[in-house]
Amino acid sequence: MKVIFTKFAKLELEDATSFYELEYPGLGKRFKQEVKKSIKRILEYPKAWSIERTDIRKCLLHKFPYKILYSIEDDHILIIAIAHLHRKPDYWVEREGR
């Protein structure tokens, strides 16, 4: 199964990576690696994480205050958001299915 990011999720990943890299050299790379590890776990066990809303699931990152919001589609996993846990809850809701 493949993974597809929405354009907004890609931007969030890039923004967070850049922010962490500016805060401390190498931290952005560690953040991106943690996202990749989480996506790998999602691919292995797509239904293992709790439902956030309707058919959208959330996977919490281990070392950063972020969650990956995704849906399980017929032939892929759709990453809807890479969301910070302490900012504007549910800001991503309008993206469902996009």
Rounded Cα distance, 15 and 94, in Å: 20
Q: Helices 27-44 and 7-23, interaxial angle, to 10°?
A: 140
DSSP 3-27: EEE-HHHHHHHHHHHHHHHHHSTTH
**How many CB atoms sit inside 10 A of residue 91's CB?**
12
Q: What is the pLDDT of residue 98?
A: 47
Rounded Cα distance, 9 and 83, in Å: 8
Q: What is the pLDDT of residue 87?
A: 73
Report whether pLDDT(95) > 70: no
Please report the domains of the chain, with CATH numbers, ordered by start residue.
Answer: 2-86 (3.30.2310.20)
- Strand pairing partners for 79? 5, 70
Per residue in 10-26, pLDDT (tens digit) is: 999 999 999 999 999 99
Per residue in 38-90, pLDDT (tens digit) is: 999 999 999 999 999 889 999 999 999 999 999 999 999 999 999 998 876 66
Q: What is the pLDDT of residue 82?
A: 95
